[in-house]
Structure 1
């Protein structure tokens, strides 16, 4: 099972590609991986900020790319789409890459 450091290394190597192809300017880990409570079947929760507006299809393509890259199901959440009542909690635990 991958840990946060493994995920960070993989994503760090792909940051240029993520910006060029998917317009992702910032990316961070939150949820069970950030809290070190992930189980074998846990997905990876990633928060992203896009350089420019991206369609739903663009978000899905980025999510699929990251899932394939990491070999673990990714739940990609644009920062602006986080529900107000969860935003403060999530932003406190994010590990930005």
Structure 2
């Protein structure tokens, strides 16, 4: 799938996190326990074709629940989503991602 960010860079990290918080009930239905933003949007440096990088902790993730969540987020933000399960972070990237991630409140 090649979805470009159709809304340009109008999203800030604060707005992205607010949108996640507003959609908590839907996120919870996918088994999301915690979700956070990392990468270029957290740093305030997204490019015109940047994807959004999310770190997620899901209660008993399955392929279907993971893909349903990814598709939901891509539809919500109208761009490509890189969705990383907390337990699958590569060890060489773990400290970098965990230092940078900003979690949505109340999730």
Q: Distance in 1 between matches of 2:73 and 2:87?
A: 19
User: Which residue of 2 is the match for residue 30 of structure 1?
Assistant: 38
2:18 to 9, 30, 55: 9
Unmatched 5+ stretches in structure 1? none
With structure 2 as the length reference, what TM-score do the two structures score? Answer: 0.84
Deviations along 1:34-57, one digit per CA (max 9) or x if unpaired, are 11111111000000001x211122
Tell me, yes or no, if the aligned pair for 2:31 and 2:65 is still in contact at 8 Å: no
Find runs of 4+ consecutive structure 1 residues off by over 6 angstroms: none
RMSD of aligned alpha carbons: 0.9
Q: Distance in 2 between matches of 1:17 and 1:56?
A: 17
Tell me, yes or no, if the aligned pair for 2:70 and 2:81 is still in contact at 8 Å: yes
Q: Distance in 1 between matches of 2:20 and 2:51?
A: 15
Unmatched 5+ stretches in structure 2? 1-8
Partner SS, residue 66 of structure 1? helix
